[in-house]
Amino acid sequence: MRADFRSDTVTQPSAAMRAVMLDVEVGDDVLDGDPTVRLLEEEAAAWLGKPRAIFVPSGTMANQVALGAWTRPGDEIVCQRWAHITTYEGGAPGYLHGVQTLTIGNRSGRMDPQEVREAIRPDFIHCPSTTLICLEQTHNVAGGVVIPMEEFAAVAAVGKEHGIAVHLDGARLANAVVASGVPASDWTSHVDSVSLCLSKGLGAPVGSIVAGDDAFIERALRVRKRLGGWMRQAGFLASAARMALRDNVSRMTLDHALARQLGERLGALPGLSCEVAGIETNMAMVHVEPEFMTAAAFAAELAKHDVHVMAMGPQVLRFVTHLDVGSPHLEQLVAAATEITAVHA
């Protein structure tokens, strides 16, 4: 049995989801509009509390569509130091849009509002214009933590104070909604645009959403076109995404509980440790003691047992739970880790 804890992007569409994809009305979304895509966009916009939304192929494209809609070449954006936008999107802000980034904060995923305020450039010909502040919820590199609403809102308020747009990378916003009990629309009420990934914990095979007001979406549509993200008979994908958003949000409580169990059990093994109190959603960051072995070496040992995980640093493993792993996979992981620690301790 394969136990894949590398990411929640590895999820496979269920039999029911595959059936939905086969029995759906589609059209040419570029020429005439695809009716199923329109339904998804309307439902996603309502869930996110925004007037309009558009469907794009990936989370990276969703963020980059937003950046392109808010900025011009030579502008500067303010992001968290380990934001996905600057860490895992291939240098896209500079390559695609000609903007530079100013990053603040540390691996906690948080940004201090005063630091954000100080990062905003003055209206001075020698400086770039600060035109966008980016937030991330949940925060990937920080281990799926939920940035508290008070801090989240305070950072967003700095943008409002200075007339600067705020974009939320909400790839895993659904996890934050489930963990916090705060509706998506409450989080997004503080931002001007938001992205939402449908192919991570929600379990759709492909796709993300970009949402905002009418003026933003009109600009975003042009950027999506330039990036090649406007698809033809995309209703096949949109039908799966609709099902994911409708059926798979509340079940994330199972993923979060499994991540905590995973952290507790692995953290009790020799050579490993885990701050279980820091596990808020579907990620458990497990530390491998330096005198024991590296995280990459431990991941390689686990792979021999058909257990797969991603090293997020020299001594840190990131385990991600999702709808395709459950108690049997956890038992397989614990058995493999127990054997490895017994041999190498």
Q: What is the pLDDT of residues 45-82, one digit of tens each?
A: 999 999 999 999 999 999 999 999 999 999 999 999 99
Count of CB atoms within 10 A of residue 288's CB? Answer: 24
Sorted by where each starts, the structural domains of the chain and their CATH numbers stand as: 13-247 (3.40.640.10), 251-344 (3.90.1150.10)
| Short-list 132, 139, 76, 143, CA closest to 110 | 139
pLDDT, one tens digit per residue, over 181-201 is 999 999 999 999 999 999 999
Q: What is the mean pLDDT of residues 31-54?
A: 97
CB contact at 8 A, 305 and 332: yes
**Long-range contacts at 173-177 (CB < 8 A, ≥ 24 apart):** 173/48, 173/137, 173/138, 174/201, 174/202, 174/249, 174/252, 175/138, 175/144, 175/146, 175/201, 175/252, 175/255, 175/256, 175/281, 175/282, 176/137, 176/138, 176/146, 176/281, 177/249
Is 114's pLDDT higher than 80? Answer: yes
CA distance 131 to 293: 45
Q: What is the DSSP string of 69-85?
A: HH--TT-EEEEETT-HH
Distance in angstroms between the alpha carbons of the first and the last residue of the chain? 26
Kindly tell me if the per-residue pLDDT of 159 is higher than 80.
yes
**Beta partners for 134?**
167
Q: Token pair of 165, please?
A: 């747009």
- Specify the DSSP class assigned to residue 145: B
Which pLDDT band holds residue 345 (cuts at 50, 70, 90)?
Answer: low
Residue type, 95: Y
Cβ within 8 Å of residue 173, ≥6 positions away: 48, 137, 138, 184, 187, 188, 194, 196
pLDDT in tens, 231-289: 999 999 999 999 999 999 999 999 999 999 999 999 999 999 999 999 999 999 999 99
pLDDT digits (tens, 9 = 90+) for 118-142: 999 999 999 999 999 999 999 999 9
pLDDT of residue 31: 94
Confidence grade of residue 344 (pLDDT, cut at 50, 70, 90) = confident
Q: Are 104 and 78 in contact (CB under 8 A)?
A: yes
Amino acid at 249: V
* Crossing angle between the packed helical segments 252-267 and 173-180, to the nearest 10 degrees: 80
Whether the per-residue pLDDT at 41 is higher than 80: the answer is yes
Q: Quick one: average pLDDT of 167-177?
A: 98
Average pLDDT over the chain, rounded to an integer: 97
Which residue has better confidence, 17 or 342? 17
CA nearest 286: which of 307, 265, 305, 257?
A: 265
Is the pLDDT score of 96 beyond 70?
yes
Q: Tell which residue, 255, 303, 306, has the closest CA to residue 282.
A: 255
